[in-house]
Copies of this chain bind each other. A is one copy, B any other.
């Protein structure tokens, strides 16, 4: 037995996405057009929820929609040729690791600022510009 289908607003609330944004993703083919209810309302199932959640989190991490399309393709085409998958995952993995490095440096600096703030009532030496890949 299937669960009660989700309306677009339910999906929006569950993922922190605006309703219009969901319709936009459908229009550009990132989300499949779902079945419609009698009243012509979009009726989603759980898999749409997973997919949308993934898209939104990737967006928040700075991935453009094209790259997200790539990543999603990895999940839906089981018979991908292996070398293509490898190239794609390796490239994305490298980027993800770079981002994690940058974030951890930024986090460290934010913590430092916050700590130096606890002492007095102003801060005086902020090295936030050095925080990310001083390279």
Task: Give every chain B residue within 8 A of A102 (Cβ-Cβ).
Answer: 57, 60-61
Task: Give every chain B residue within 8 A of A33 (Cβ-Cβ).
Answer: none
Docked-complex contact A122 and B78, CB < 8 angstroms:
yes
Docked-complex contact B97 and A107, CB < 8 angstroms:
yes
Docked-complex contact A93 and B122, CB < 8 angstroms:
no
Asked whether A31 is an interface residue with its Cβ less than 8 Å from the other chain, the reply is no
By the criterion of a CB under 8 Å from any partner CB, how many residues of chain A are at the interface? 56
Chain B residue at minimal CB-CB distance from A119: B82
Q: How far is the CA of A51 from the CA of B54 in the complex (A)?
A: 32
Asked whether A53 is an interface residue with its Cβ less than 8 Å from the other chain, the reply is yes
Copies in the complex: 2
Docked-complex contact A122 and B54, CB < 8 angstroms:
no
Asked whether A20 is an interface residue with its Cβ less than 8 Å from the other chain, the reply is no
Q: How far is the CA of A89 from the CA of B106 in the complex (A)?
A: 10
Q: How far is the CA of A34 from the CA of B18 in the complex (A)?
A: 39
Asked whether A66 is an interface residue with its Cβ less than 8 Å from the other chain, the reply is no
Asked whether A26 is an interface residue with its Cβ less than 8 Å from the other chain, the reply is no
The answer to whether A74 and B122 touch (CB under 8 A), given A53-B132, A62-B59, is no
Task: Give every chain B residue within 8 A of A57 (Cβ-Cβ).
Answer: 102, 132-133
